Structure 1
Amino acid sequence: MASLDFSSDKPRDVGSIGSLDLHALVDETSLGIRTKDGLYEVKDWEFGQVANEADDAVSQALNTTNRPPAEKPSATSLGGLGSVLARLTGSKVLTQEDLRPVLEDMKQHLMKKNVAKEIAEKICEGVEESLVGKRVGGFQSASHAFIGVRHYLMALIATNATVRQALSTSITRILTPKTSTDLLLSIRSKLSSPLSSTQLRLPYTIAFVGVNGVGKSTNLSKVCFWLIQNGLRVLIAACDTFRSGAVEQLRVHVRNLSMLGINGATDGKGRVELYERGYGKDAAGIAKEAIAFARDNDFDIVLIDTAGRMQDNEPLMRALAKLVSVNNPDKIIFVGEALVGNEAVDQLSKFDRALRDFSGLSGIGKGRGVDGMLVTKWDIVDDKVGAALSMTYVTGQPILFVGTGQTYTDLRQLRVANVVQAILSD
């Protein structure tokens, strides 16, 4: 029973919390890097498979010249694939009619990668616009070039650099954010801005919003660890006053993070604290009090944890918009799952629209939408990373981080090139 005793007055070993080794909270292999300026950066997410492996397999099939005639399938046995490629055989000017069946297969491939249907169609439109009227050659006869290839899109990409580049360009255009992804630069800019002699510096505030159960509190704590590693003092505002255990969950995270401190050492006391007022209170009021407390006690950052809510629940969305309008956070980060595909579009678009519509009604401030995204459970989708496309397309805002595991170091930055590689893979 002693190992299960987490009473606040129980003596603690420096290296453990109860029976839990602090090393279990930090994955050494997932730790970020220190720049030459001493800043702590989380690692980049990298797609584990090498896309060129697929290219090499197809190239090997194309270069095989001694295959027995009996192994050569006919165009008829390839179904629609043979007739589609026959239209692209040789050097000719591509038309919309040529590309229609190709783009349909391309759309199906993207949807299998969790890209929402409307975004998949948008990408295919971009490919079509870039290819119609171009002279494309170099395709071999479909009767012998594609033996053993299971997916048409992979064969198309591997055998024609023009088509591959067009698809890559269309995906990249959507994924490229309209605003900066350097959150730390934004924080440092505000904290270093000049003030008058009568002004008190306001902390940088970030509100985490999203539907129920996506991991807002857990990933807020990962972001907190990243901020602590950069020497910033963080106040976590417990504004989920509805879910049972929400405050206690944050209290455990704060305790853990306080003991981890900078560089994983046990010197983080005072670097992170929890501001909570229990349950059943007005979340907007608690957030306002927390910001004032942070201002008066020299905290650099306030991370606002909000209650999960479904995007169609108008009363709860109005309550969230009130929190935004009253406190005007510097960043509103939508936390969503990598698994949801089309649902991501519905969730994010409705959150963004509701915040814009309702947060300006009070007259306190102007309407605010989502400023960026954090996508959780990224480590379990492998190459089905289409949610990144869907979310960026809906708002035009960047994905700031992705969550990849259960420790405080399991946070990654998302590079456009890596996402494109994963989507193009088969």
Structure 2
Amino acid sequence: MFENLTDKLERSLKLLKGEGKITEINVAETLKDIRKSLLDADVNYKIAKSFTNTVKEKALGQNVLGSIKPGELMVKIVHDELSNLMGSNASELNLSNKLSIILISGLQGSGKTTFCSKLAKMLKDKKNKNPLLVADDIYRPAAIDQLKILGKQIDVTVYSELNNKSSIQIAQSAIKQAKQDKNDVVIIDTAGRLAVDQRMMEEIASIKKAINPDEILFVVDSMTGQDAVNTAKEFNNRLDFSGIVLTKLDGDTRGGAALSIRAVVNKPIKFVSRGEKMESIDIFHPKRMADRILGMGDIVSLVEKAQEQYNEGLARRLKKRIAKNQFDFDDFLIQIQQIKKMGNLRDLISMLPGMGKMVKEIDVDDNAFKKIEEIIYSMTPTERANPSILNSSRKSRIAKGSGKKISEVNQLLKQFEQIRKMMKTMTIQKSLNKTFRRK
């Protein structure tokens, strides 16, 4: 995400590397390039200018310590200001009421319906909520069908009506139903509308007035240009929305317009969404995003994703099996499934410091584990439990069954042995460390 901005800022900040001290001349040259980088990334001109003026003010007012190079100091200042531009701190949803109502608004094609389902899944899985999805797009029957299909995938009830009721009536009826069914969150998917369509804008304003939602989220496609900023202003004038959702962050997007929206309407970015997978939604953390934009990775988010999939029982079982040298292909499959649940592989790798640019330059297939799984599933249960019995004839059968070459099967076996040895060594090392700490 924001790959172009990352590349351009990296180049801009290189201008100060090697300089002995910060001066008005070398800062001016760097900031001119940073401003151009922001404009190229579609950041609003006034915001880009204000941003660089603030950075200049802070840079020239700093005393550079002997141990800190000017380039490093400038990176820190730019990082802090990027974080401020995006809102400084994460902003949580208001779910304090017995029944919390969330109204979703935005343009046509911005990804509202998919986001509604992702949000419902997140609240259900991570907050132990019992959400109700409401199909309130009365102008596009396909949107109702789409929400029903997605609702079924995530096992969340979808409320819909096809009896010529208005969108206001549907929303009101859905809330009444939610109270009867003991739901604690209602997520209302509304029709996409253009800011210039007065009738449609009046309609969503009327829905807001009728149901008094706890949250109104404005969904915006991150690949949209500067028009998105003007649209956000119009929606905010009408709805006074409480937060922004950035969708389609998995594309080759400049992203600057999306960042400009936050500064222009002074409302927090609450969520980011990537791809079609129901798990690909994250709470927006400005400081972490600033890290990623400046190529520093996002270890905290990576650890959080790992912890979400952490299963204490499985971990204990795995530890015992590794200690006894019993780690087999069934255990390996379990680990692969855990990693896949964490999300898009390219995005996970880009969270490692310094890997964002590298991932951009190589092809990271999200089905990278598919070949491994096909080979393992072509083994018999006995072979998966006892990798040592895999002789030439067995390998040949496995290769034929999985549609792979013998060399690919041998490569997997070699990698598996390396992983097994590494895990065994790590387990022994941890046990030794614990023993020495006790002494």
Report if TM-score (shorter chain) is over 0.5: yes
Report what 1:375 is aligned to. Answer: 246
Secondary structure class of the residue paired with 2:158: strand
1:166 correspondence with 2:77: yes
d(CA) in 2 for partners of 1:249, 1:406: 12
d(CA) in 2 for partners of 1:103, 1:327: 47
Q: Which amino acid aligns with 1:253?
A: L
Secondary structure class of the residue paired with 1:190: coil
Report what 2:122 is aligned to. Answer: 226
Confirm or deny: 8 A CA contact 1:204 1:300 kept in the other structure. yes
1:308 correspondence with 2:192: yes
Report what 2:348 is aligned to. Answer: none
Q: Which amino acid aligns with 2:166?
A: D
Report what 1:350 is aligned to. Answer: 234
- CA displacement at 1:410 relative to structure 2: 1.4
Superposed CA offset, 1:173-204 (max 9, x none): 222257x6222xx32x323xxxxxxxxxxx21
- Number of corresponding residues: 290
From the superposition, tell whether residues 167 and 403 of structure 1 become closer, same or farther in structure 2 (CA, over 3 Å): same
Match of 2:97 among 184, 190, 198: 190
1:112 correspondence with 2:40: yes
Match of 1:244 among 130, 137, 141: 141
Report what 1:181 is aligned to. Answer: 91
- CA displacement at 1:251 relative to structure 2: 1.6
d(CA) in 1 for partners of 2:284, 2:175: 30
Mapping 1:127-142, distance limit 5 Å: 127-132=55-60
Mapping 1:15-414, distance limit 5 Å: 91=21, 94=24, 99-132=27-60, 160-176=71-87, 181-183=91-93, 186-187=94-95, 189-191=96-98, 203-229=99-125, 230-258=127-155, 272-278=156-162, 280-355=164-239, 369-381=240-252, 384-414=254-284
Confirm or deny: 8 A CA contact 1:116 1:341 kept in the other structure. no
TM-score calculated relative to the size of structure 1: 0.60
From the superposition, tell whether residues 133 and 209 of structure 1 become closer, same or farther in structure 2 (CA, over 3 Å): same
d(CA) in 2 for partners of 1:405, 1:237: 22
RMSD, matched Cα: 3.4
d(CA) in 1 for partners of 2:64, 2:23: 7
Confirm or deny: 8 A CA contact 2:233 2:265 kept in the other structure. yes
- CA displacement at 1:162 relative to structure 2: 2.8
d(CA) in 2 for partners of 1:136, 1:158: 7
Confirm or deny: 8 A CA contact 2:2 2:255 kept in the other structure. no
Confirm or deny: 8 A CA contact 1:216 1:305 kept in the other structure. yes
d(CA) in 2 for partners of 1:92, 1:110: 22
Confirm or deny: 8 A CA contact 1:352 1:370 kept in the other structure. yes
d(CA) in 2 for partners of 1:402, 1:370: 16
Report what 1:31 is aligned to. Answer: none
Q: Which amino acid aligns with 1:371?
A: S
Confirm or deny: 8 A CA contact 1:338 1:381 kept in the other structure. no
From the superposition, tell whether residues 177 and 207 of structure 1 become closer, same or farther in structure 2 (CA, over 3 Å): farther
Superposed CA offset, 1:39-88 (max 9, x none): xxxxxx999x999xx69x96xxxxxxxxxxxxxxxxxxxxxx8xxx8xx9
The structure in which a higher percent of residues are helix is 2
d(CA) in 2 for partners of 1:330, 1:91: 51
Report what 1:195 is aligned to. Answer: none
Which sections of structure 1, spanning at least 5 residues, go unmatched? 1-44, 59-80, 139-156, 192-202, 259-271, 356-368
Secondary structure class of the residue paired with 1:373: strand
From the superposition, tell whether residues 160 and 297 of structure 1 become closer, same or farther in structure 2 (CA, over 3 Å): same
Identity %: 27
Report what 2:287 is aligned to. Answer: 417
- CA displacement at 1:377 relative to structure 2: 0.6
d(CA) in 1 for partners of 2:163, 2:140: 8
Superposed CA offset, 1:272-297 (max 9, x none): 32222227532112111111121122
Please, which moves more after superposition, 98-107 or 405-414?
A: 98-107
Secondary structure class of the residue paired with 1:308: coil
Secondary structure class of the residue paired with 2:97: helix
- CA displacement at 1:392 relative to structure 2: 1.9
Confirm or deny: 8 A CA contact 2:84 2:286 kept in the other structure. no
